[in-house]
């Protein structure tokens, strides 16, 4: 069944996919499906390929529209006719960097389009979709809120909290929420849907007094949840969360713990049947692990302490929910994000109790704004509330001592930590000799995997030429020490982003900025670094590895004849025309050539014996 659903959900398995209809300089018609978050260079959209030339097609692409041009912003359901080529999505250029190509492939996006000039035509005969109607409704809400004086940051947070749209949230604000361990507040997810379900269940509780009241209550709950999903743009994370809590709402109607557990597992199975690629989605993994922790761990943690009064009991209950969810997602979040916010309890204790008020207040503000009957004092009060929440998160994020960064777990280390948590929880819930032995075995496995990884890191030696446009970064690794040479453009940088991911993932604990003086040795091979001065005539140097930087004015044919190099590497500081010329000559002479701008970073590895 798993193989079957994977096959039918891969767009490339259909003859209508645009891959089978590509040609030179094609005429392409696309329909905008989703507005994505922009970066410093491009506004990004997810679009469906409707036609290639005269062929009706299917499949999704990433549309990149150059910023700071006269090109307009596009909206969901806009249809564009383009005269441009479909381009592949580029793999990461440096080791351990985020693989955007794989991330998009899991969403069935395999190619991209670039718009930098007005080389397109907006078609008038666009077909409305439910996603377009949802986007129009959200745009209407946004215009209504702007009339009541909501500022950019406050409006962006409201759109993220209530409408599930994070495109307008600034990088600084997102970073603050990440450091404070409250990033889940800014994404409509299981937390928001769970709070909304609790609010609606409380409001609809009187229906339970009547005959078939529980059935009608559950039906209304499900309808309102899906109405909220429509309001939030039917994004993958929202649909996933609403599906999960639809099943949980049905489970709750049976008033049985087993029914709730069964509903939780069934929702996961149902979602993966419909969209199997969600299994590889970070949001899906974190959402279900968090809910699993709350359902399975939270009751056991709550029993460990019995508060004496109602207020302390509610605070303790809230703390146990946060602790259970954090334990469940901890290894996975370190595996993906390499950091742990130590003050997550503080930020969650302050924000989550008010989340019900924030959500219900936000929905009320939106409803009144739509009908133009929102009192200005209420708009001002809500705006100030959001401002103070942002200020509190900012304060928490500034407590850098409690943010543990640079953490790394390999895939197998992550799995062993889950074994440790699972068998540890089993033992403390129900102590027995058998469960104690399993728990101790899990501890032993964690230690063995850790020691194996540490030994590999300590014995590894590497020579690296990282890729960075218009710059040069060369590294020589010996165990857990990295000797790093950067050119003048990067001298003032602490550690460049091109190197950060490598340092974290490879267990590097010492970095030494150095100057190799144009020559070093690795694997008994001399390595010559030929920069803009073009100096390479060193005595008794034969068969070296040659690194070309800053487009040196050299005769490549003469260099090959004199040195007979085993490898020539051109980094990102060289001009494209020079790289093409050097590569052609190397092919003629049978010399291996590596351009980091094409093939990514050059990495040569050996191990200490």
State mean pLDDT over 456-479.
91
Classified as helix, coil or strand, 371 is: coil
Classified as helix, coil or strand, 174 is: helix
State how many domains the chain has.
4
Name the E strands within 312-430: 339-341, 403-405
CA distance 321 to 344: 12
State mean pLDDT over 306-310.
84
Residues 41 and 311: beta-carbon distance below 8 Å: no
Asked if pLDDT for residue 489 goes beyond 80, the answer is no
Together in a domain, 177 and 82: no
pLDDT for 448: 95
Worst-scoring range by mean pLDDT, 152-161, 320-329, 488-497, 521-530? 488-497
Beta bridge partners of 340: 404
Together in a domain, 341 and 468: no
CA distance 413 to 331: 9
State mean pLDDT over 205-213.
84
Contacts for 508 with CB less than 8 Å, ≥ 6 apart: 477, 480, 481, 482, 502
pLDDT in tens, 21-31: 988 888 999 99
pLDDT for 492: 52
Mean predicted lDDT score pLDDT of the chain: 86
State mean pLDDT over 51-67.
92
Highest-pLDDT range among 100-114, 220-234, 355-369: 100-114
**Which domain-ending residue is among 127, 152, 184?**
127
* Dihedral over Cα of 69, 71, 75, 78: its sign: negative
Asked if residue 221 is part of any domain, the answer here is yes
Between the CA atoms of 462, 465, 467 and 470, what dihedral angle is there, to the nearest 10 degrees?
A: 150
Together in a domain, 449 and 321: no
Residue 59: CATH number of its domain = 2.40.50
Q: How many helices and strands, by DSSP H and E, does the chain display?
A: 20, 20
Tokens found for residue 93 = 């250029």
Asked if residue 334 is part of any domain, the answer here is yes
Together in a domain, 449 and 481: no
Worst-scoring range by mean pLDDT, 177-186, 236-245, 407-416? 177-186
Asked if residue 365 is part of any domain, the answer here is yes
Asked if pLDDT for residue 292 goes beyond 70, the answer is yes
Asked if residue 449 is part of any domain, the answer here is yes
Together in a domain, 415 and 511: no
Worst-scoring range by mean pLDDT, 191-195, 287-291, 524-528? 191-195
**Which domain-ending residue is among 423, 442, 458?**
458
Together in a domain, 236 and 149: yes
Together in a domain, 8 and 65: yes
CA distance 311 to 583: 72
**Helix (H), strand (E) at residue 29:** strand 27-35
Q: What percent of the chain clears pLDDT 90, i.e. is strictly above it?
A: 28
Q: What is the DSSP string of 90-137?
A: PPPSSTT---HHHHHHTTTEEEEEEE-SS-EEEES-PPP-HHHHHHHH
Asked if pLDDT for residue 165 goes beyond 80, the answer is no
Asked if residue 521 is part of any domain, the answer here is yes
pLDDT in tens, 361-384: 888 888 888 888 888 888 888 888
CA distance 242 to 234: 10
pLDDT for 606: 81
How far is the first Cα of the chain from the last one, in angstroms, to the nearest whole number? 48
Asked if pLDDT for residue 608 goes beyond 70, the answer is no
Beta bridge partners of 114: 64
Together in a domain, 247 and 327: yes
Residue 559: CATH number of its domain = 3.60.15.10
Together in a domain, 377 and 472: no
CA distance 316 to 310: 10
Together in a domain, 513 and 578: yes
Q: What is the DSSP string of 523-587?
A: TTEEEEEE-TT-----TT--S-EEEE-S-----HHHHHHHH--SEEEE-TTS-HHHHHHHHHHHH
Asked if residue 132 is part of any domain, the answer here is no
Residue with tokens 């398995």: 13
Asked if pLDDT for residue 164 goes beyond 80, the answer is no
pLDDT for 538: 65
Together in a domain, 468 and 382: no
Asked if residue 134 is part of any domain, the answer here is no
Asked if pLDDT for residue 490 goes beyond 60, the answer is no
Radius of gyration of the chain from its Cα atoms, rounded to whole angstroms: 28
Task: Quickly state the pLDDT bin for 348 (edges 50, 70, 90).
Answer: confident
State mean pLDDT over 415-432.
92
The whole domain housing 417 covers: 411-458
CA distance 425 to 297: 8
**Which domain-ending residue is among 405, 438, 470?**
405
Asked if pLDDT for residue 233 goes beyond 80, the answer is no
Q: Give the 3-state DSSP-derived string for 441-470, with helices as H, strands as E and coil as C.
A: HHHHHHHHHHHHHHHHHHHEEEEEEECCCC
State mean pLDDT over 273-297.
87
Task: Quickly state the pLDDT bin for 539 (edges 50, 70, 90).
Answer: low
Between the CA atoms of 335, 340, 346 and 348, what dihedral angle is there, to the nearest 10 degrees?
A: -20
Together in a domain, 197 and 238: yes
State mean pLDDT over 375-404.
84
| Mutual angle of helices 310-337 and 344-370, in 10-degree steps | 100
Asked if pLDDT for residue 221 goes beyond 70, the answer is yes
State mean pLDDT over 265-276.
89
Asked if residue 240 is part of any domain, the answer here is yes
Tokens found for residue 32 = 């905008």
pLDDT for 570: 95
**Model confidence, pTM:** 0.83
């Amino acid at each position: 069944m798993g193989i079957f659903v994977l096959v039918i959900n891969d767009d490339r398995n259909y003859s209508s996919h645009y891959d089978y209809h590509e040609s030179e300089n094609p005429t392409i018609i696309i329909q905008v499906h989703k507005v994505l978050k922009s970066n410093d260079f491009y506004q990004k959209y997810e679009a469906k390929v409707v036609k290639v030339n005269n062929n009706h097609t299917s499949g999704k692409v990433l549309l990149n529209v150059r910023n700071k041009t006269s090109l307009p912003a596009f909206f969901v359901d806009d249809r564009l006719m383009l005269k441009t080529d479909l381009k592949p999505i580029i793999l990461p250029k440096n080791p351990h960097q985020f693989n955007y190509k794989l991330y998009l492939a899991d969403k069935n996006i395999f190619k991209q389009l670039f718009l930098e000039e007005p080389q397109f035509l907006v078609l008038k005969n666009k077909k409305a979709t439910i996603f377009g109607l949802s986007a129009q409704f959200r745009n209407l809400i946004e215009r209504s809120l702007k009339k009541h004086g909501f500022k950019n940051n406050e409006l962006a947070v409201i759109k993220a909290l209530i409408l599930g749209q994070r495109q307008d949230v600034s990088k600084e604000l997102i970073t603050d929420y990440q450091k404070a361990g409250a990033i889940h507040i800014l994404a409509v997810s299981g937390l928001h849907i769970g709070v909304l379900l609790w609010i609606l269940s409380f409001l609809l509780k009187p229906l339970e007094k009547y005959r078939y009241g529980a059935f009608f209550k559950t039906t209304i709950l499900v309808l309102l949840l899906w109405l909220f999903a429509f309001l939030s743009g039917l994004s993958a994370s929202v649909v996933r969360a609403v599906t999960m809590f639809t099943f949980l709402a049905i489970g709750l109607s049976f008033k049985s713990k087993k029914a709730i557990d069964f509903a939780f597992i069934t929702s996961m199975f149902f979602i993966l049947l419909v969209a199997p690629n969600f299994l590889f989605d970070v949001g899906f993994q974190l959402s279900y692990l968090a809910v699993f922790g709350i359902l399975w761990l939270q009751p056991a943690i709550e029993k460990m302490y019995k508060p004496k009064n109602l207020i302390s009991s509610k605070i303790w209950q809230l703390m146990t929910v946060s602790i259970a969810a954090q334990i469940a997602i901890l290894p996975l979040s370190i595996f993906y994000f390499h950091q742990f916010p130590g003050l997550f309890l503080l930020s969650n204790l302050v924000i989550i109790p008010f989340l019900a008020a924030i959500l219900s207040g936000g929905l009320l503000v939106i409803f009144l704004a739509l009908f133009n009957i929102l009192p200005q004092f209420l708009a001002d009060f809500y705006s100030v509330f959001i401002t103070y929440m942002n200020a509190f998160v900012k304060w928490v994020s500034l407590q850098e001592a409690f943010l543990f960064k640079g953490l790394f777990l390999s895939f197998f280390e992550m799995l062993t930590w889950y074994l440790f948590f699972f068998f540890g929880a089993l033992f403390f819930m129900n102590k027995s000799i058998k469960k104690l032995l399993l728990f101790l075995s899990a501890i032993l496995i964690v230690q063995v995997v850790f020691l194996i990884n540490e030994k590999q890191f300590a014995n590894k030696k590497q020579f690296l030429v990282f890729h960075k446009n218009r710059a040069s970064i060369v590294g020589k690794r010996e165990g857990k020490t990295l000797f790093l040479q950067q050119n003048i453009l990067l001298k003032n940088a602490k550690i460049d982003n091109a190197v950060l991911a490598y340092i974290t993932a490879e267990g590097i604990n010492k970095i030494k900025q150095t100057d190799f003086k144009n020559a070093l040795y690795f694997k008994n091979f001399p390595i010559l670094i030929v920069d803009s001065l073009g100096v390479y005539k060193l005595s008794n140097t034969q068969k070296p590895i040659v690194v070309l930087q800053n487009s040196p004015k050299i005769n490549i044919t003469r260099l090959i004849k004199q040195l007979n190099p085993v490898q020539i590497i051109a980094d990102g500081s060289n001009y494209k025309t020079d790289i093409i010329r050097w590569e052609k000559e190397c092919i003629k002479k049978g010399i291996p050539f590596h351009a980091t701008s094409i093939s990514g970073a050059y990495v040569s590895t050996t191990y200490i014996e």
